[in-house]
């Protein structure tokens, strides 16, 4: 993969300034364009995902897998995370949406209308091989994108998604989603992951005295959503993967590895 590039862009849609990290595979562009993985929280996620993509490229002759372009969508800060993610990654939840939240639709418009054409001008993209990765609030945004814009990506990777947000507001889109996806000629795929330690053990083990974690049901919510989607047959593929011995922070790293494998495999 060629040396990573960075550029900063200010969105006319969200008004936010973003730092975009771009890793493009070496060699000629495939006839149909490059597969591409868009990653939220790019300041934190891009370095690991870019390395994983390079590894795919190194092994391409043996595996036949094409290394993707990796686009890290970050913020103009030296920190791993920015408070603006609380607006960009959360879905609107009606009149009760708190100030500074509920901007996911505008953020997805930014990706679709501004960022994707910018990346395509640098590295031609395969319109049929595009993925979105997000962790925590980013995973919530990924699910919101799947439910409201199922044709926007080929693969959705929701790591430790904050389904609990605003009384599980994201799940209100489930039935409209089923109608949207039924009309698509090609169904998208979804990988859901959660760390084993993100939810208190029912037997009173590790974390059992954390009532907030128990209420959020991070593991069960992701597992149950995967089962619901699998039973409905709405998607080309749907998987839930429990990540042993991982907490909410550490689960992001194996989730990126599993997500890359799920996308390019």
pLDDT in tens, 73-115: 999 999 999 999 999 999 998 777 788 899 999 999 999 999 9
120: buried, middle or exposed (CB in 10 Å: 19+, 13-18, 0-12)? Answer: middle
Please say if 34 is a catalytic residue: no
Going by the DSSP 8-state scheme, the letter that residue 95 receives in this structure is B
pLDDT at 97: 79
pLDDT exceeding 90 applies to what percent of the chain? Answer: 84
Lookup result for tokens 């991982």: 246
- State the pLDDT confidence band at 209, using cuts at 50, 70 and 90: low
The more confident residue out of 206 and 83 is 83
Q: Which CATH class is domain 5-264?
A: alpha beta
Q: What is the mean pLDDT of the chain?
A: 94
Query: How far is C-alpha 209 from the geometric centre of its chain's CA atoms?
Result: 30
Candidate list 136, 160, 162, 234, residue with the active-site label:
136
Stretch 3-25: mean pLDDT: 94
Domains in the chain: boundaries: 5-264
Is the pLDDT at 206 greater than 90? The verdict is no
- In 116-211, DSSP assigns E strands to 125-135, 155-159, 189-195
Stretch 12-16: mean pLDDT: 98
Candidate list 101, 198, 221, 246, residue with the active-site label:
198
The three-state secondary structure class of 6 is strand
Whole-angstrom distance, CA of residue 41 vs CA of residue 217:
23
Please say if 212 is a catalytic residue: no
Please say if 198 is a catalytic residue: yes
């Amino acid at each position: 993969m060629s040396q990573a590039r960075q550029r900063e862009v200010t969105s006319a849609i969200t008004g936010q300034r973003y730092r975009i990290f771009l890793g493009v595979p070496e060699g000629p562009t495939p006839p149909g364009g490059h597969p591409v993985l868009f990653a939220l929280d790019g300041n934190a996620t891009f370095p690991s995902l870019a390395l994983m993509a390079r590894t795919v490229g190194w092994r391409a002759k043996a595996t036949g897998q094409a290394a993707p372009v990796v686009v890290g969508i970050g913020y103009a800060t030296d920190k791993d995370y920015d408070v603006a993610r609380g607006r960009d990654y959360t879905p609107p939840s009606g009149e009760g949406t708190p100030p500074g939240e509920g901007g996911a639709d505008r953020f997805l418009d930014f990706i679709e209308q501004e960022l994707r054409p910018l990346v395509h001008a640098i590295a031609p993209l395969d319109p049929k091989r595009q993925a979105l990765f997000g962790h925590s609030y980013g995973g919530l945004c990924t699910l919101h994108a799947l439910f409201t814009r199922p044709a926007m990506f080929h693969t959705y990777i929701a790591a430790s998604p904050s389904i609990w947000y605003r009384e599980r507001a994201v799940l209100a889109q489930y039935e409209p989603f089923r109608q949207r996806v039924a009309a698509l000629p090609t169904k998208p795929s979804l990988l859901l992951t959660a760390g084993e330690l993100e939810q208190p053990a029912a037997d009173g083990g590790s974390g059992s005295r954390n009532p907030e974690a128990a209420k959020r049901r991070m593991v069960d919510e992701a597992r149950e959503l995967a089962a619901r989607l699998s039973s409905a047959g709405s998607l080309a593929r749907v998987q839930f993967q429990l990540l042993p011995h991982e907490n909410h922070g550490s689960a992001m790293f194996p989730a990126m590895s599993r997500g890359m494998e799920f996308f390019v495999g």
